[in-house]
Amino acid sequence: MRIKGLKVGPLGTNCYIVEDEAARKAAVIDPGEDAEAILDAVVQDDPEMKVDCILLTHAHQDHVSAIPALRQALGEGVPVYVHEADFRDKAPVLFPLPADLANVRFYGEGDTVTVGDIPVRVLHTPGHSAGSVTLQVDDVLFTGATLFCGSCGRTDFPDGDYDQIMASLKRLGELEGEYTVCPGHEEMTTLNRERTGNYYMVQALKG
């Protein structure tokens, strides 16, 4: 497995590419903008690498804006996975995915998406939005705007809920073992670092 990260768009959203090198299949996580740069990163190490799916931790504009350009380049056969709570009947400013977007697949708690031979487990972690999820790939967590290095996502947007995000942080903090945390913004971190140094997670774990 190979993981690449690049910052895209004016808010510096972290877009990640998870690659099964043997199968030459990749997943793009949170393509917030800069579709051309994302596509260049996919084939940077292997010109035969193909995007198998687009996975969203949530559907806010800064995490989805490159999808139309990616679908134009890749074709509508590449599915877009999103939690249904972030897709149906949402305000287009924050949640700009069109209702007629082709090949949208809903995932939620306990689901698994396979990228080549790599399983991606879905944990529903609402709070920043109702449909926020964390994607677990082996010992790596892609936390979107649920967990940041030293902080967490804001909850004052529509569908945001402070109590929910605290419950989600508690859930992540109580996962057994150590994980690398790849957040949707700012720097990468580790779960152990956040368990002891992130005020919000510390408070969440205290209950």
The 3-class secondary structure across the chain, one letter per residue, is: CEEEEEEECCCCEEEEEEEECCCCEEEEECCCCCHHHHHHHHCCCCCCCEEEEEECCCCCHHHHCCHHHHHHHHCCCCCEEECHHHCCCCCCCCCCCCCCCCCEEECCCCCEEEECCEEEEEEECCCCCCCCEEEEECCEEEEECCEECCEECCCCCCCCCHHHHHHHHHHHHCCCCCCEEEECCCCCEEHHHHHHHCHHHHHHHHC
Mean pLDDT of the chain: 96
Q: pLDDT by residue (tens digit) across 70-126?
A: 999 999 999 999 999 999 878 888 999 888 889 999 999 999 999 999 999 999 999
Taking 50 as the pLDDT cut, the residues of the chain under it are none
Indicate the number of domains in the chain: 1
117 CB neighbour count, 10 Å cutoff: 10
pLDDT score for 158: 84
pLDDT score for 112: 98
Q: In whole angstroms, how large is the CA radius of gyration of the chain? A: 16
Instruction: Give the structural domain span for 110.
Output: 2-206
Q: CATH number of the domain at 10, please.
A: 3.60.15.10
Name the residue type at position 93: V
Query: How far, in Å, CA of 10 to CA of 31, rounded?
Result: 13
Query: How far, in Å, CA of 154 to CA of 147, rounded?
Result: 10
**What residues does 151 pair with on adjacent strands?**
148
pLDDT score for 91: 83
pLDDT score for 93: 85
pLDDT score for 45: 96
Please answer whether residues 30 and 13 qualify as being in contact, where contact means their C-beta atoms are separated by less than 8 angstroms: yes
